[in-house]
Amino acid sequence: MRAIVMREFGGPDVLRLEDVPEPGPRGGHMLVDVTLAGVNYADVHARGDSYLAPVELPYVPGNEVVGTDGGRRVVGLCRGGGYAERTLLHRRVTWDVPDAVSDEQAVALALQGNSAWHLLFTSLRITEGETVVVPAAAGGVGSLAVQLAARAGARVIGLAGSAEKRKLAQELGAHAVVDSTAEDLTERILDAAGGPVEAALEMTGGATFARTLAAVAPRGRLAVYGFAGGDLASVPTRDLMEKSLTVSGFWLPQLYADRTALPTSMKALFDAVEDGCLTPLTGAVHPLGDAARAHRELAARTGTGKLALDVTR
């Protein structure tokens, strides 16, 4: 079968299309014929050997797919192996796709949709009337988080790096938008929110982390789910104590073994899409062999919505 294989760590060019053996049987798993494979920052970190879990070479990237199992159309999560014509999905993190949900929508919900849902409602526990900062508000996780938070009655401050993306964030439900590249980011958030915010998401790291945290109100919460800028951040405990802040980390695979968390969020996401209350943004879809191009686009942050690979091409 065809698959994208990494035999070394490095830039996008280490992603090469090869013929490889099909994965063998594994307890609790199903072999799925892949239609679409989602492209995520997790794949970029795996490629650069900076992922949260160790990556052993050779390695087939990809942590979410839409495909078929016999006559069933399914979406599921995996720990690598998604950039391939066939992959193994654990039955616990595989779901039937409703007829009203397209393949492109479903692949946006598996990793990014579940992440957005649990960041807001499990980590931050946002409530109606609170103000929450959402970074990359026109991106995969961010665009879904904006809609979910606004639907829950929160006031959303969306961060984005271009005027086009900020406009899109407002169309999705953000109450105000801020240029995420501004050096006075803290002051701009405070101005847009009318004061410190109760909650914030953060996925860039470095100076952006510090500037976002500085906008959080006493007894507020911040949830960290990435470091797309490449710089990990640290928090002085004095700062946490002075404002009684809660800073939590989030990594979706920690929920894979939970028998209720992901089924609950997946049902809520499917229901919201079917009801027209949630619109997953579908971005560029590239042929499997163009995985390197997809990674360059993701790193450049030029696109909006969900990047995916069409494994049938």
Of the candidates 186, 153, 180, 152, the residue with the CA atom closest to the CA atom of residue 166: 180
Question: Rounded to an integer, what distance in angstroms lies between the CA atom of residue 43 and that of residue 301?
Answer: 15
Residues pairing with 282 in the sheet: 306
pLDDT band at 212 (very low <50, low <70, confident <90, very high): very high
- Identify whether residues 50 and 161 lie together within a single domain: no
- Identify whether residues 91 and 216 lie together within a single domain: no
Which pLDDT does position 194 carry in this prediction?
98
- Residue 177, classed as helix, strand or coil, is strand
Mean residue pLDDT of the chain comes to 95
pLDDT in tens, 89-103: 999 999 999 999 999
- Identify whether residues 35 and 60 lie together within a single domain: yes
Phi first, then psi, for residue 252 (nearest 5°) are -55, -40
What domain range includes position 39? Answer: 2-97+281-310
Which pLDDT does position 261 carry in this prediction?
97
Residue 58, preceding peptide bond in cis (omega within 30° of 0): yes
- Identify whether residues 181 and 145 lie together within a single domain: yes
Which pLDDT does position 302 carry in this prediction?
74
**pTM (2 decimals)?**
0.94
Q: How far, CA to CA in Å, does 202 sit from each of 9, 46, 71, 228?
A: 26, 20, 40, 10
Which pLDDT does position 65 carry in this prediction?
98
pLDDT at residue 300 is higher than 90: no
- Identify whether residues 118 and 12 lie together within a single domain: no
| Mean pLDDT computed over 225-250 | 90
pLDDT at residue 230 is higher than 80: no
pLDDT in tens, 103-141: 999 999 999 999 999 999 999 999 999 999 999 999 999
pLDDT at residue 304 is higher than 80: no
- Identify whether residues 47 and 157 lie together within a single domain: no
Q: Is 92 a domain residue?
A: yes
- Identify whether residues 172 and 300 lie together within a single domain: no
Residues pairing with 2 in the sheet: 19
- Identify whether residues 126 and 215 lie together within a single domain: yes
Q: Is 268 a domain residue?
A: no
- Identify whether residues 122 and 91 lie together within a single domain: no
- Identify whether residues 124 and 224 lie together within a single domain: yes
> CA-based angle 246:252:254, to the nearest 5?
85
pLDDT band at 241 (very low <50, low <70, confident <90, very high): very high
Which pLDDT does position 200 carry in this prediction?
98
Question: If you search the block for the tokens 């050096």, which residue do you land on?
Answer: 183
| Mean pLDDT computed over 81-94 | 97
pLDDT at residue 247 is higher than 80: yes
Q: Is 302 a domain residue?
A: yes
- Identify whether residues 156 and 68 lie together within a single domain: no
CATH of the domain at 87: 3.90.180.10
pLDDT at residue 161 is higher than 80: yes
Phi first, then psi, for residue 182 (nearest 5°) are -70, 135
Which pLDDT does position 233 carry in this prediction?
85
Q: Is 274 a domain residue?
A: no
pLDDT in tens, 8-64: 999 999 999 999 999 999 999 999 999 999 999 899 999 999 998 899 999 999 999
Residues of the chain with pLDDT > 90, as a percent, come to 89
Q: Is 269 a domain residue?
A: no
From 237, 253, 269, the end of a domain falls on: 253
Q: Is 261 a domain residue?
A: no
pLDDT band at 303 (very low <50, low <70, confident <90, very high): confident
Q: Is 104 a domain residue?
A: no
CATH of the domain at 128: 3.40.50.720
- Give kind and range of the element (H or E) at residue 239: helix 237-243
pLDDT band at 228 (very low <50, low <70, confident <90, very high): confident
From 253, 268, 300, the end of a domain falls on: 253
Which pLDDT does position 125 carry in this prediction?
98
pLDDT band at 268 (very low <50, low <70, confident <90, very high): very high
| Mean pLDDT computed over 253-280 | 96
Q: How many domains does the chain have?
A: 2
- Identify whether residues 14 and 135 lie together within a single domain: no
Q: Is 266 a domain residue?
A: no
